[in-house]
Amino acid sequence: MYKGKTVFSQVMEFLPMDTFHRRVKRYNGNYKLKSFSCFDQFLCMAFAQLTFRESLRDVEACLRSLKNKLYHIGIRGKVSRSTLADANNKRDWRIYAEFAQVLIHKARKLYSGEEFGVELDNTVYALDSTTIELCLSLFPWAAYCKKQAGIKMHTLLDLRGSIPTFVEVTDVKVPDMKILDLLIPEPGSFYIMDRGYFDFKRLYDLDQVKSFFVVRSKAKYSFKRLYSQKADKTIGIRCDQIITLTGRIGSSNYPDKLRRITFYDKERKKRLTFLTNNFRLTAETIAQLYKKRWQIELFFKWIKQHLKIKRFFGTSENAVKTQIWIAISVYVLVAIIKKRLKLELTLYTILQILSVSAFENIELSRLLNDDNYKEQTNDNCNQLLLFD
């Protein structure tokens, strides 16, 4: 019988602890603390994510019932609801944001060779945002109208592995297009975006650093067709045009040529028009790239369903951001484990197994490589296919 570390301890061993402690030191996270360190806080919140806890009271009850095992999983301080709530409210959320970025960097290396359905050597990103609704009476700082409160989670997703590489939490009123000002574009990479990012000046900034974009076009803008390229209507391409913008504002904001492609989506029975600054790829490939943008919608759906960010454990802005970044850290950590252990299971299945086995004394690779799980498939549930 295996008598080593618990499953939860083995999962946490994949964390780069030296990096975590450097982030804590940078923001004085453990300053004047006698017990319940930032790592204790991280472990408790990670436990809440992995085991689908619903509240701090829930976390406290579960961990106290397992107090004989807490030391062995790294939790040195006494777990109480008030202590954890105080830590979430006061300890700088940037500790966990920067630590998540370290995990993201490691995950991207592991998934750099992953296929995503389009034969392309370039890095391809999908950029979008999702709104997380909040209770106005509990989160008055997040009000965006008289009766509603919420925050926006802007995400740049690397389509190779569905790894979030950039996350920004803002007020709901912040327009999507303004997030382009915060990005550091990578030359040669593709940025796939919906109509919320249709801003010619910002698109031209991407073009000037040699990045490529594919953005869904809005209905009204003035342009002049220079010439048309051959369009294969049998695959849904309705037109493939080289254009220039006309009108004083459009031509000054984007003075170069653009490529305009119209595609008819038979599945959705919808006509879509894209603008891009790439003139080499086929129109079919451009349409396929935009279709892959759907992965970020699946990411938002998945993370809202399976990680605890719709129900927050604290009401301050710091507590909300702390919980979001620790949720992202757990998501990326499990993605790293999946790759390093060469698992064939979906991320959803891995999390379900971990949720009921966190304090079992069984070897992690043996637990997750059990043949009983490998025959579990679900072709009708999109969110399960993120890491297939």
Task: Give the domain range for residue 344.
Answer: 7-96+320-385
> Do the domain assignments include residue 74?
yes
Query: What is residue 243's predicted lDDT score, i.e. its pLDDT?
Result: 94
Q: Of 178, 180, 174, 238, nearest to 205 (Cα)? A: 180
Q: What is the count of structural domains for the chain?
A: 1
Query: What is residue 3's predicted lDDT score, i.e. its pLDDT?
Result: 59
Query: What is residue 231's predicted lDDT score, i.e. its pLDDT?
Result: 87
| Segment-wise mean pLDDT, segments of 10 residues, the chain, 388 residues | 76 94 93 86 91 87 81 76 91 95 93 84 93 89 88 93 90 93 94 94 95 90 91 90 89 93 87 94 93 89 75 88 92 93 87 88 86 53 40
What strands, in cross-sheet order, belong to the sheet with 258-265? 163-171, 149-158, 124-134, 190-193, 212-216, 270-276, 258-265, 237-245, 223-229
> Do the domain assignments include residue 196?
no
Query: What is residue 373's predicted lDDT score, i.e. its pLDDT?
Result: 62
Query: What is residue 213's predicted lDDT score, i.e. its pLDDT?
Result: 96
> Do the domain assignments include residue 331?
yes
> Do the domain assignments include residue 178?
no
Token look-up 């790294």 returns 74
Residues in Cβ contact with 43 at an 8 Å cutoff, skipping those fewer than 6 apart: 12, 73, 74, 75
Dihedrals phi, psi of 57, to nearest 5 degrees? -60, -40
Burial grade of 169 (CB within 10 A; 0-12, 13-18, 19 or more) = buried
Global pTM reads 0.85
Query: What is residue 371's predicted lDDT score, i.e. its pLDDT?
Result: 65
> Do the domain assignments include residue 185?
no
Query: What is residue 380's predicted lDDT score, i.e. its pLDDT?
Result: 43
Query: What is residue 384's predicted lDDT score, i.e. its pLDDT?
Result: 40
> Do the domain assignments include residue 75?
yes
> Do the domain assignments include residue 48?
yes
Query: What is residue 156's predicted lDDT score, i.e. its pLDDT?
Result: 95
Query: What is residue 151's predicted lDDT score, i.e. its pLDDT?
Result: 92
Give the Cα separation of 278 and 253 in Å (integer): 18
Q: Are strands 190-193 and 212-216 parallel, antiparallel or unpaired?
A: parallel
> Do the domain assignments include residue 293?
no
